[in-house]
A and B are shown apart, each in its own frame.
Chain A
């Protein structure tokens, strides 16, 4: 089960509200390579992992990704704090205000709602861990694009922290892919050829 900690993993600060950037960074909330997709992908894949270590890593990174969902939500909250309908309209995000007011919603930067098709689970640990490594790289690229799209140094600082976490997660998944591959090559495992060899 899960327990909520009433704090952020890393501080989320903005110099001043910026509805235009909120409209873009929302993709890390409800977009294909966003934090929700990441968390659900890993927490769902752990059941078909062959070793305790792989189950642990997917549980722990899937849990950390939930903390990142919260950080992105806090960022959107602060970027839209005090904004009125006119501010949303001027930022080209009037549709968001029309449908959600100051409420959050799971969409990407183009308003496309979140969908389960963003995440995969083939039940093959090698396939799934490779998918996870690709997902971390896609999230890393997205953070790089977002860092280029804002001038706010405080926002950049938070995005850089999240960028760094993607790099670390990619590294850990790569290590786990090696460990799982070794485990599956171990002669006690059925690997599609005669076990007597």
Chain B
């Protein structure tokens, strides 16, 4: 879903008035935000800033890093 957001972002940079693309972008962002929230609740933090940490520990340092998966 994040990739769709990136692709639409680049498309909108060169087609800023394309209303269909804007609509698709907004839908994609909403879905992406939902998935991020689910992931962070079930697994671990995806961002070190801009989201709440779990109350019991700073799992930013604990969960595996992308190059280790």
**A residues bordering B, Cβ < 8 Å?**
1, 46-47, 51-53, 55-56, 59-60, 63
Contact = CB atoms under 8 A, between A and B. Distances in A.
B48 A56 contact: yes
Interface residues of B, number: 9
Contact of A53 (B2, B61, B64): B61
B48 A47 contact: no
Nearest to B45: A56
B67 A52 contact: no
Contact of A52 (B2, B48, B63): B63
Contacts of B64: 52
A121 to B, nearest CB: 15
19 contacts: A1-B2, A46-B65, A47-B67, A51-B61, A52-B61, A52-B62, A52-B63, A52-B64, A52-B65, A53-B61, A55-B61, A55-B65, A56-B48, A56-B60, A56-B61, A59-B48, A59-B65, A60-B48, A63-B48
A73 B67 CA distance: 31
Contacts of A53: 61
Contacts of B61: 51-53, 55-56
A1 B32 CA distance: 15
Nearest to A51: B61
Q: Nearest 10 CB-CB pairs, A to B?
A: A53-B61, A56-B61, A52-B61, A52-B62, A55-B65, A56-B60, A60-B48, A47-B67, A56-B48, A52-B65
Contacts of B67: 47
B32 to A, nearest CB: 11
Nearest to A53: B61
A130 B60 CA distance: 23
A172 B64 CA distance: 21
Nearest to A3: B47
Contacts of A56: 48, 60-61
Nearest to B60: A56
A55 B68 CA distance: 11
A141 B2 CA distance: 41
**Most chain B Cβ neighbours within 10 Å, of A52, A53, A59, A60:** A52
A122 to B, nearest CB: 19
